[in-house]
Amino acid sequence: MNLLLVNVISAVLSLVSIGIVVVALRRAAEMIRLGKSMAEQIAASSANLEQALAALKTEHDDFRDENRKLDARLEESARAQRDIARSVDLMGRIRTELQGDIRALHTSISARNTAAATVAPQAASAPAKAHIQSKSSKLPVFVRRTVASATVTDNTAAFS
């Protein structure tokens, strides 16, 4: 009976060990399945991160290009502002020169009116034209023009 008892105990222990192996194999299979799903999720996350990185790189490049364009526009604006400032300065100088010419013209007209009784109109206008032409040689081309007649009233002039 000893042998039978040993065989039964051995059979029970074998069944228990087979049961333990089956449970361990099931858990191992479940762990493998979980590992595969985690690997798939990690791969999907990596792909999404790579796509996000590529999108961020393109946005960075776009922003860099836009920054360069804005810098060029700022440079152009600064250049235009300098040109406008120079033009305003030139126009101010031209204005002061023209005011001086108008005053000279006014004095020559008043002198011509006082001398009109004794001197012919052509003789009086020749010095005024020469005076205007000598002053206008310093002025830009668009300002050099011949004044046929001018009327000066209340520090304003009307040319024709």
* Cβ atoms of 75 and 120 closer than 8 Å: no
3-state secondary structure of 137: coil
117, two tokens: 């009784």
- 39 phi, psi to nearest 5 deg: -65, -40
- The pLDDT value recorded for residue 151 is 63
List, for residues 1-13, the tens digit of each pLDDT value.
688 899 999 999 9
Helix axes 2-115, 121-136, angle to 10 degrees: 150
Element (H, E) at 150: strand 150-153
State the pLDDT at residue 102.
Answer: 82
Local structure of 153: helix, strand or coil: strand
pLDDT at 159 over 90: no
pLDDT value for 18: 96
Spatial contact of 131 and 104, defined as CB atoms under 8 Å apart: yes
One-letter amino acid for residue 137 of the chain: S
Strand partners, 152: 157
**Per-residue pLDDT tens digits for 96-111:** 888 888 888 878 877 7
Instruction: Look at residue 153 in the predicted model and tell me its pLDDT.
Output: 63
**Residues 91, 44: Cα–Cα separation, whole Å:** 69
Q: Other CB atoms closer than 10 Å to residue 144's CB: what's the count?
A: 13
CA distance 143 to 101: 12
Q: Which residue has the higher pLDDT, 123 or 43?
A: 43
Confidence tier at 114 by pLDDT (50, 70, 90): confident
pTM reported for the whole predicted model = 0.42
Q: What would the two tokens of residue 34 be?
A: 């979980």
